[in-house]
């Protein structure tokens, strides 16, 4: 299964202004991304809250389809399912930042009343790094995706991420929230594209996934 993580690296927003304590650090249509903590090493934790005007059916399909997820995000590079509960995930921020690699494990469960929770964490068994890649130091998070009233979808996402390597913490802080917001919007747009292509019969048909 393709890991449901967002890459927090986005080179194009280094000039972003810091947010006040009472406002999100970054936004995307229907989403707000807030920093909840920063540890002594400068590693940030974030919470994102989204409400999208797209049916849960199509959002869930994107999360359940490795190919759709990979195609949706310009910040996700190669993803490899190792077949033993682990997956190699590569974040591709673009020049001049080197690609980041991490091996992750994940677990998904149904939520009472509909929707699902998916948690991911760094595996104790890391795959060897490919040449030119940097080992991600920390990548862990949890998604909660639920159907909402009026036919929409709510998404709650918490994550903690340290890209590793020699990137200075202050530099990472300048672009990580925007990177999360952009990745969330990629998923929303992918779900909207599915909904736009669906026939009325397809939209009404139940979709099941493990």
Q: What is the pLDDT of residues 148-204, one digit of tens each?
A: 988 999 999 999 999 998 877 666 766 788 889 999 999 999 999 999 998 665 555
Number of domains in the chain: 1
CA 70 to chain centre: 11
Token code pair at residue 120: 């991911």
Contact present, 63 and 145 (Cβ < 8 Å) = yes
Within a domain: 45? yes
Residue range of the domain that includes 133: 20-197
| Within a domain: 178 | yes
The number of beta carbons lying within 10 Å of the beta carbon of residue 136 is: 24
User: The whole model's pTM is what?
Assistant: 0.82
CA distance 59 to 144: 12
| Domain annotation covers residue 189 | yes
Question: Which segments in the chain show pLDDT lower than 70?
Answer: 1-22, 74-78, 169-171, 173-174, 199-210
Asked, for residue 96, whether it belongs to a domain, the answer is: yes
**Residue 40 confidence (pLDDT):** 85
User: Cβ contacts of residue 34 below 8 Å, gap of 6+?
Assistant: 24, 25, 46, 47, 48
Task: Indicate whether 102 belongs to any domain.
Answer: yes
CATH number at residue 142: 3.30.530.20
Per-residue model confidence (pLDDT) at position 202:
53
* Residue showing tokens 């990580």: 176
Give a yes or no: residue 204 inside a domain: no
């Amino acid at each position: 299964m393709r890991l449901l993580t967002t890459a927090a690296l986005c080179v194009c927003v280094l000039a972003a202004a810091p947010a006040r304590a009472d406002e999100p650090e970054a936004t995307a249509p229907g989403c707000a991304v807030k920093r909840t903590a920063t540890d002594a090493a400068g590693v940030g934790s974030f919470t994102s809250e989204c409400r999208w005007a797209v049916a849960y059916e199509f959002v869930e399909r994107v999360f359940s389809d490795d190919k759709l997820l990979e195609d949706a995000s310009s910040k996700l590079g190669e993803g490899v399912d190792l077949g033993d509960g682990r997956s190699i995930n590569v974040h591709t921020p673009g020049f001049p930042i080197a690609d980041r690699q991490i091996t992750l494990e994940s677990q998904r469960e149904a939520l009472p009343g509909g929707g699902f929770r998916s948690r991911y964490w760094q595996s104790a068994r890391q795959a060897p790094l490919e040449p030119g890649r940097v080992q991600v130091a920390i990548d862990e998070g949890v998604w909660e995706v639920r159907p909402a009233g009026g036919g929409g979808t709510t998404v709650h996402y918490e994550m903690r991420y340290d890209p590793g390597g020699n990137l200075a913490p202050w530099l990472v802080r300048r672009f990580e929230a925007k990177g999360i917001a952009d990745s969330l919007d990629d998923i929303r747009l992918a779900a909207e594209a599915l909904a736009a292509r669906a026939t009325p019969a397809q939209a009404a048909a139940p979709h099941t996934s493990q």
